[in-house]
Every structure is written in structure tokens, then in C-alpha cells.
Structure 1
């Protein structure tokens, strides 16, 4: 009989479900890391919320552990790479608290609009300052939605019910999906200039970190009110305070902070600032939902081998897995590459296979492409939920099989359609195992995609390779591999360099100003 440890406080229904499914369960909460290490070796599954930290040390002691289930969305407290290396599946429950979080955002919007916290404190202090608190109506105001995924779309629905106009910025939101939601799709600058209220519903990634930077906050409409119930780090907190102090920003409400628990913060005490202690998921219903979901998912995996909402494992049968594994690695790498390089909103994603790949189950390959592509924008996407997230955003995902025989034994091609046109990358398997890039935006180039890389598009001219090598050498960056391709002699060329450490923004800036360089950017795989 599988055995599970519930190490954080969780609704009792979780334990009931485990037992009903034939899984033995212990509820032991509040353990220190050392105490957890001493007992974790006897368990097949670990069910957690946010308190338990599943570190490398815990995983090393977890000699029988097969699955970690997080009752909630965020998995910042789980070392996923270490879990993957140990063969431990990590699951979360990404949709159990969506309504709760969306409602909290709406509640904070009302609190800002009518200055409810200040009015409450004043009234209970016996002041009765009726003329001091002049609020604003939400009706006919414009709500700027940064992120129109599951939670964002619920917020949009509630806001429309309040007779608000909703403008959304989301790279994966198609015009068709926007029409379905009854909202207007816009670029970020347009949203910032028009919104009376801005609410954030996007994960924290390299692309979204400080998406409301000092520069972007300066682009907002004077008198804007800002709400964040998503992730700390999406807003430059110092710039937000400066905007509140100057009066450019009329109010702000944060449920999340860069540093949590936020017992000290420069925003505290600022007029027109409202804060809550990360309460987005804190309702009775949400706690019950995520507890039930994590127990059902973990029990299904431990008893039947079913995989749902796994962050590091695709949905695969035991028979398919060995054959599909290298193809999924290739597909995810190609998706990651085009996701990092294809700028602007995407409308269509086409996955084509030919040769040996055409005889395989395409769903895991498609899921791997989408996971690699969308991981640029989301820290919780995986091969299981990537297709759902794509459908949710109205993306047109196309799968194409070719019976023809090409130059390669097997080939996978990923093409995306953006406002700038189509962008395509293709790859094959070297030795039927190792992913290899063979074509990039129509240019033939063979490259291994791994680790830290520098991507450069330049004019094919004598001396360029020397200049790029000198620039990296002066920066103390060691080159691992060097891959070149060009459309024609003297025409456009592409360069992919693997290096031993992350490429800094400062180095990318130096490369961009080299003679002949059209574009340059850092890549990571």
C-alpha cells in the first residue's frame, strides 16, 4: 500500500480521499527540515502547501519518494530540477483557487475606488470624516488586464458585470479569444495609457519581472489605480511608492510582495496604499478544492500511474515513453528556441513531423513544443497543461504529418505566425537520441541547443568572427561551441554560440553595436 505524508495543514478531505483510494496517510505538520529529513524516507508521496520546503537535502533523504503534490499553484518551495533528477514527479493544482484569487482582485479594486480601509479606520476612531473620502465609480471605467489566462479571464468577466471596459495585454491572447471574452486586445503601452485601473494576472518570469517598471509606470494615465494579486516582483515597489507620493498614481493594492512575509516594506504607511498578506487563495472553498485535487492526483499516480498537472513529466503510457522521450526533448527545445526568438503576439503554431517522427503519437510532441514555447511566459507550464493553456488563450495549434521522405531520417518543424510574419525552426535527432537544430528562420545551421547561448544575426562579412570573439574574450566569457549559417555569401548570417555562463545584458548590448550586427540576444536552455 502506498504511503503519503501530509506535512502542511490541509483540509481533512485530502486524507479521506487518500484512504478511500487505498493510500495510507499520515498527517504530521509543523516539522523542522531536520525532523522532516528523519522521517521522509518511509513515504511514497509528500503532500504540501507553502510551508514545507522540498529542498535538495529533503529529496536526498526521500529514498522512496515518487511524487510531491502542491495544493496550490506556486511551487517556489520545491526544487523541481532536483526532484526531476531523483525521478520524483511534482504536481500542483493550478485551477483550484482561480475564482478566489480573481474575487480578491475585485475586492481590492473596490477598496481602492472607495478608500474603504482608510474610511473604516477613521470611522472607528470616532472622526466621522464624511467629506474626506470622495471615491470613484467603477462603472464605465477602463480596466487594464495584464494577463488574460484562467484568473485574468475570470476578473474580466466580473469587471464586465460591473459595466467596466476591459483592455487586455497578453502575448497569447488572440483576437478571436478576446471577442469571446468581450474584451479588447491591446499592446502594453496602449493599456498603460488608457487604463483607469490596472490588475496583474501573470506569472513571474524573466519577461514579466518588473513589467510595471518605473518607465512603464510613467506611461500610465494620471490617477491610475493598480492591483497585484499575482506575484511579487511584477511591480517595481520603489517606483510604485514614488508614483503614489507624487500623486500620479491615485492608489495601489498589493496582496503579494517581492519579499515575503512582508513585515517591513517601504510602501507601508503610504497614503492610498492597501495591502493584504497574500490572501488571494485564502477562502474556505479554495482550500477545500486544492486539498481534494492534490489528493486525487497523487492517489491516481500512486495507484494507477495516471499523471495530471505534473510540472516535470508528460502524460505518457509506459509503452510510449521510451520511444517518445528523445522526440519530446527535441520538440521542447525547438519550442523554447522559437519562444525566445519570435517576438510579439502569436496567433498560429504549427508542428510538423516527417520521417520516423510521423509514425508516433503527436500529442506528447505537441505538448512538449507548447511547454517549451510558453515557458518563456509562464513558470508553471508543463507538457500536461500547455495544450489547455494554449486553447484557453485561443491559439490555433496545428499538427501536420508528412509521409514524404526528406534529407533526414526524422524531422520536427515548429512554425509560429506573428504580426511580423512567420518564423520557423527545424530539428532532428542525432543518433536517434540527441536533439540537433538544423534550420533557423530559413537558414541552414546545425547546432546543439543547451545551456547558455548567444544568438546573433549579422551581415556576412570578413572580420566579423574575429570581432565577436574579441568582444567575448574581453568580457571574460569562454566560448564552448560556435555554429554559423548564412542565406548566401555576403548576405544575412546567423551565429549561435554556447558559453560557460549566462550572457549578461551588458555583453549583449556590446555585441549589438558591433559593425554588421542586426540583432543579438541571450538564450537559455
Structure 2
């Protein structure tokens, strides 16, 4: 059966034709995204959802999307998509990060000129038959310092335009390398330094918990008198009330605002203020940009639904159509191995080594490393995904290394994840058989083969008689069924481990009861996204 896509926002009809040409059934209902109840009613019928900004893909919508595999956002911003909820349900979220970059950058430059020369107010005055040359005294752009917060796709384009306008450009971006800054012809600075030096400040960063309100009263107080502020990125980056007060006080000479804390913006403290240029989120509103992002999202979604290829996904590394069928089971395996280690580790992790032996060594290991780190970090931070996990590991000072080697054992290929803390080292290895399902093959150096279930109990014990009986009696007394029971030991009478495949989770009280059994050293409930 052909995959089915719902287009719930106003996308180009050419994009609809792309879906059809690629063998995807498509329903073009451009006003449906505004009807929350109707969207909830029909979303379960679709494999893909193509949107712009009007459709809100909430946790409630995702829960109702029983067949949904991919959400494609024609544009950059995905504030209207609950990405953690989508990730938990295995739904890929894609955007089109390059389709409207130039258009948005040009709008920021246009607002900068408009604010510098008070063009909108001068236009209104002249249309009214006035001739107020002395009222509209502007400032030159040339020679001024432009501060760019966020030097990604759009910010870097603004930077090159600023350099071309003979401005001194400084940029703040934690991920901007010195080499990239040099390539752009700009100076990389800290945020506090940018605030002190910039004559114009333009924002091009996502809205996150860290960036929300990045320009507030405290930040404005550290800026130059007469600074001008441009925001074409996201509403909420600038505290509108604080900016309005600073403009009234004369601290800020002007502002160009394309995005607002609440949209559609029918009221704002900035409305009606002298030399504040406001536009209704027009950053991506050019015919070229709208066509580009619509065509791009249709191509990306079709490639995933038909071929399994992933590009520009926000919760998964890119995977080509050719490698997808082989790689996907090992991505799940890597995530399971990471999740195993992460759930058993409470101390801060200092190092992670991921070994790819045999078949996986020749794969796209970047995706596999990201999957392993995602599984590893999820017990501490539920919103982590395959895209954010490598960065989060780096930010937490975790040293990540990978090793590839030729086939060295009885399996065609396997993955081993080894983690280190200040106090211990732990490893877990697994493989995929022909059915594509992940299996554990070694834990803490002890060989054992075990299927992976959603709920599993991991125990350690000494290799002595009666352990299985004690565990079995405890479960039987509690009326809890054990689906599978796997055992392993390092040597006779030595250290032993067990993995119990369960039909349902266990209560903390029952786990403590198991851990109190004479032979048991540790008992830990594990949960896997299987």
C-alpha cells in the first residue's frame, strides 16, 4: 500500500505533484491545520504530515497519529512541533533549513536599513504631504559594528552581507569555530562583549530555554547608548516590554521586529513607538523561498517514505536510501546498548568507547554513535535525541571515541559500548540477526545471548545454587509472569548475571524485595524503546 501524506497548511501545488510523482498518496487540505479537533480526528490515517507554521503538532496530535512516520516542516522553525513527543514515538521531524535562509537574511538587512534611516515613518509623512527632512535624521551603516547572535545558516549570510557593507562584524555563537569565523571575515566574541561593542544587534538563533529572553532589561543596560536591535529569528528572544521601555528612555535608538512573543501579534508594547519597524513574520515571505521550501520538504518526505532515506532530520542523523535497510536495525541496537549502560550508571560518565566489529564497522558509524549516545543520556535527560546527543555529551565533558575493526568472533558483526566513571567501567555488547532484532551477547565481559524486551530486570549474584529458585518464587508469589530468563557467569562459582524479560514493569517495592534476596547483589529494572 502506498504511503499517505496530509498537507495541512498552504504549500505550493508543485509540492503536491512531487508527492504524487514519487508514488505517495496525498490529501491537500491547506486549512485543516487550523482546525485542531478535525486534525485529531483524521491524523491517524496518515504516514506523513507536511506543514508550515499554522499546524500545531502537539503531544495530543502525536498520540492520535497512530500511523505517522514523518513530519515535514516547510521552513526552518519547528516551534510548532513537539519534537520530544515525536521522538518518543519514533516519528522523524524534518525541516528545510536552507530553503529560506537567503530570504530571511535579506529581510534582516532590509530592517536594519529601515531602522537606520527611519524609512517607514518618512514614507508615511511624505505621503501625508509633509516635508520633514530635519525630523528624519538617520545614521550610516558603513563603519558601524554589527553584532550577530547566532552564526548558523542565516546568521552567516547576514555576516557576509554586513562585511560587504563595510561594517565591522562580530559574532556570538558557542559552535562557531575560529576557522569558520575567519572564513566569514568576522570576529568571534563572547555575548557580553558583543553587547558592549555593537551599534546594531541582529538575532539569528533558535528559541530554547537558554536563549529565551536573551535580550532583556539587564542585557540592554550593558549595550551602547543608541543601539539598534533587529529580530527576524524567533519571538521570545527579545523581552518586548523591556525593549519598549528602553526605546522610550532613549537607550535604544530603534528596532526592527519581524517576530513576536505571541503570534499573530495584534498587540505589543512595541506597537506605535517611534522608529520601531514591525512586520508580520515576513522573513521567509518571498515567492522564491516559499516555492523552494515546499519542493524541498516534499522531496525529503517522499525519499523517506519510499526509500527510507533521511535528510535534514532534527531527531536523527541523515541516512541515504542505499544504506537505510541495513543500517536501521543497527541504529536500534546501538541505542539499546547505550540505554542499558545509561540506566545502570548513576555516577557522572567521563568516557564512552564504542567498538564496531565486522559488519557495523563498514556502516555510517556517525549515526550509530549518535544512537548509542542518545540511549546513554536519555535516563538523565528525556528530551535528548540522535541529533542533540553528541553535542550534549561534549558539553558534559564526556570523551567519546570509536574503534572499528574487522570481524573477530563468531558473529558477522557486533557493537560494544564501554562507559567509564571515576569509580568503575562497564561494557555491554550486542548484535542483530537476520530478523533485524537487537540481542545482547555480552555484559560486563560475561557472554550471554538474550532478546531485548521493553521491560527487563537485570540482576547480579554469586554463582551459587538456588538463585533461580529464589527469584522464581518471589515472582510467583507476587503473581508476575517472566517471559524469558537468561543467565551468564564468568566462571564456576564466580560472578553471575541474569536478564529477565518481563510482560510489565515492576514496582520499586518489588525490586527492593528481589534485591533483598540472599544471593542477589543488585536488581535494576530496565526499560527499552522496543
**TM-score computed with the length of structure 2 as normaliser:** 0.67
**Corresponding residue for 1:410?**
417
Q: 1:190-216: CA deviations, max 9, x gaps?
A: 111111100011111122122112111
Give distance in 1, aligned partners of 2:429 and 2:402.
24
In structure 2, the partner of 1:29 is 30
Q: Which residue of 2 aligns with 1:401?
A: 403
Q: Quick check: 1:80–1:312 contact (8 Å CA) kept in 2?
A: yes
Change (3 A) 1:136 1:83: same
Q: Give distance in 1, aligned partners of 2:287 and 2:39.
A: 27
Residue matched to 1:287: 290
Residue aligned with 1:287, SS? helix
SS in 2 for 1:122: helix
Distance in 1 separating the partners of 2:197 and 2:79? 34
| 8 Å CA contact 2:341, 2:426 repeated in 1 | no
C-alpha distance in structure 1 between counterparts of 2:99 and 2:315, whole Å = 19
Change over 3 Å in CA distance of 1:428–1:117 after alignment to 2: farther
- Aligned partners of 2:65 and 2:137: how far apart in 1? 58
Contact 2:49/2:71 (8 A) holds in 1: yes
- Deviation, 1:312, is 2.7
SS at match of 1:319: helix
Corresponding residue for 1:11?
12
Mapped partners of 1:21, 1:247: distance in 2? 57
Tell me how far apart the structure 1 counterparts of residues 155 and 15 of structure 2 sit (CA, whole Å): 28
For 2:41, the equivalent position in structure 1 comes to: 38
Whether the 8 Å contact between 1:353 and 1:413 is mirrored in structure 2 is no
CA distance in 2, matches of 1:305, 1:284: 30
5 Å-filtered alignment, 1:410-429, equals 410-411=417-418
Structure 2 residue 130 is the aligned partner of structure 1 residue 127: yes
Contact 1:327 1:357 in 2 (8 A): no
Q: Secondary structure at the match of 2:157?
A: helix
CA distance in 2, matches of 1:202, 1:370: 25
What are the Cα deviations for residues 25-62 of structure 1, in whole angstroms up to 9, with x where unaligned? Answer: 22112122222333333322221111122233433443
Residue matched to 2:193: 190
> Equivalents in 2 of 1:100, 1:129: separation in Å?
32
Cα distance in 2 for partners of 1:370, 1:136 equals 50
Cα distance between partner residues in 2 of 1:426 and 1:258: 47
Is 1:156 the counterpart of 2:159? The answer is yes
Q: Which residue of 2 aligns with 1:320?
A: 327
Residues 135 and 76 (structure 1 numbering): CA distance in 2 closer, same or farther, change over 3 Å?
same
CA contact 1:5–1:43 (8 Å) conserved in 2: yes
Match of 1:512 in 2: none
Match of 1:308 in 2: 311
Residue 167 of structure 1 pairs with residue 174 of structure 2:
no
Task: Give the corresponding residue for 1:112.
Answer: 115
Taking structure 1 as reference, are residues 229 and 122 closer, same or farther at Cα in structure 2, changes over 3 Å only?
Answer: same
* SS across alignment from 1:113: helix
Q: Which runs of 5+ in 1 are unaligned?
A: 336-340, 343-349, 389-396, 415-423, 439-525
The Cα of 1:428 is off from its aligned counterpart by 5.0
Q: Following the alignment from structure 1 to structure 2, what is the Cα–Cα distance between the partners of residues 357 and 237?
A: 57
Q: Supply the distance in 2 between the matched residues of 1:84 and 1:386 (Cα, whole angstroms).
A: 13
Q: Which runs of 5+ in 2 are unaligned?
A: 343-347, 392-398, 409-414, 431-438, 445-530
Q: 1:357, 1:410 within 8 Å by CA — same for their partners in 2?
A: no
SS in structure 1 of the partner of residue 326 of structure 2: coil
Shift of 1:188: 1.2
Alpha-carbon separation, structure 1, partners of 2:67 and 2:402:
41
- 8 Å CA contact 1:8–1:47 kept in 2: the answer is yes
The 2-side partners of 1:370 and 1:133 are apart by: 56
Aligned position for 1:418: none
Gap change, CA 1:128 and 1:286, over 3 Å in 2? same
CA distance in 1, matches of 2:68, 2:147: 44
Between the aligned partners of 2:301 and 2:26, the Cα distance in structure 1 is 12
**Within the alignment, does 1:146 sit opposite 2:153 as a pair?**
no
Moved more, 59-68 or 206-215: 59-68
Query: Which structure's CA Rg is the greater one?
Result: 2
8 Å CA contact retained: 1:358, 1:401: no
CA RMSD of aligned residues (A): 3.9
The reply to whether residue 247 of structure 1 matches residue 250 of structure 2 is yes
Q: Could you tell me whether the CA contact under 8 Å between 2:315 and 2:388 is conserved in 1?
A: no
Deviation, structure 1 residue 76? 2.1
Mapped partners of 1:12, 1:33: distance in 2: 23
Give the superposition deviation at 1:187. 1.0
CA contact (8 A) 1:4 1:43 kept: yes
What does 1:381-396 correspond to in 2, within 5 Å?
Answer: 383=386
